[in-house]
Amino acid sequence: MQPLFLLAGLVVLAAVIIDLLWTTLWVDGGSGPLSGRLTTGVWHGLRRATGDHPRALSLAGPIILALTLAMWIGLIWLGWTLLFAGGTAALVDSQTGDPATWAGRLYYVAYTMFTSGNGDYTPTSSVWELVSSFTTATGMAFVTLGVSYVLSVLGAVSEKRAFASDVTGLGERSEAFVRTSWTGGAAAADSEIDSRRPDGGRASEAQNPFSGLDLPLESLASQLSLLAEQHKSYPILHYYHSDQAAQASAVAVPILDDSLTLFRHGIPDEEQPNPTLIEDARTSVHRYLETLDTAFIDPAAEEPPAPELERLREEGIPTVSDEEFDAALEELSERRRKLLGVVRADAWEWPPAK
């Protein structure tokens, strides 16, 4: 018996199985201890090596995903090999009867993990036959689980980029997003007619100058809520970098949140869009920000640039005073520093996208 090899094999197997189950099945757990360190190490290494070149960083996600899967398979393979090395002649050559060498053990574990057939080596006792059965079970089960995880991540990447495209399609900065949503004079004329009604009531929802925003905003909030849950389940999504800012969720989320800030705090109450939809969308952003800890993304030390109300006034959009808006931004300091941290962690600059 070789106790040291037995212990090493058990430790390696325990570590990789915990990491694999942690990463793939524990929705609120984020990345496992091993895969999390691999992810951040590869990401920071690529950033230093490439100087934040967008095209090079777009390879980070596929590289990390491939290395994670390879790490899981490799460590399971190594763990079982060490375990078989711990036994006295646990495996023998089926033709010569000689004890298996290290190459023989690696070969035996490989075909036992991925097939259920017999090869050139056989276990020497019922105990090692049972160990071989566990080798086959873990190989097939965990490799299948790992591949399923990869496919789920790739599907989430497509949804992530679709969300970003939907946001930036309305505006590549928050002021442009608000200006695109403004229906302007037509709604203002309807509001004037409404103000002459005998009841003197407020304009109906149909006459609100931002009423056309309701459906897109509801859709974006729903997409972002799903994206937040996916980032919680698959923290590697934070490292799937797009080489185009218009398809980068790290750019799109700040644009959306600053737009919501303008709607909520920069526009007078009587002109604001549906407040329920605004709060729902802000809640979705909050859920997204809650996923940053699982990806080891920290808030920036300073606040990002504030949206410019003057850009809205140029389009005839009514706004509150600069002082009132600045006071509201002060209360959102921590939230906006987190968003700036997201932007910088993905190697982008604060919107407008460049």
What whole-number distance in Å separates Cα of residue 229 and Cα of residue 302? 27
Q: How many domains does the chain have?
A: 2
* CA distance between the termini of the chain: 63
Residue 60 lies in a domain: yes
pLDDT for res 352 = 64
pLDDT for res 351 = 81
Same structural domain, 51 and 162: no
For 220, residues 6+ apart whose C-beta sits below 8 A from its C-beta are 163, 166, 167, 256, 281, 284
What whole-number distance in Å separates Cα of residue 194 and Cα of residue 186? 12
The CATH number assigned to the domain holding 79 equals 1.10.287.70
pLDDT for res 116 = 62
Residue written as tokens 């018996």? Answer: 1
Domain boundary among 116, 150, 184: 150
Give residue 84's identity as a one-letter amino acid code: F
pLDDT for res 291 = 86
pLDDT by 10-residue block (mean), the chain, 354 residues? 89 95 85 91 91 88 93 94 88 87 91 75 89 89 88 92 94 93 63 49 60 91 94 88 89 95 94 92 94 81 94 93 95 95 90 60
What whole-number distance in Å separates Cα of residue 134 and Cα of residue 127? 11
Same structural domain, 168 and 106: no
pLDDT for res 117 = 57
Q: Max alpha carbon distance in the chain (Å)?
A: 104
pLDDT for res 167 = 95
pLDDT for res 111 = 87
Torsions phi, psi of 121, nearest 5?
Answer: -125, 150
Residue 281 lies in a domain: yes
Q: Identify the H or E element spanning 56.
A: helix 54-57
pTM of this prediction? 0.80
Residue 350 lies in a domain: no
Domain boundary among 132, 150, 168: 150
pLDDT for res 208 = 80
pLDDT for res 301 = 93
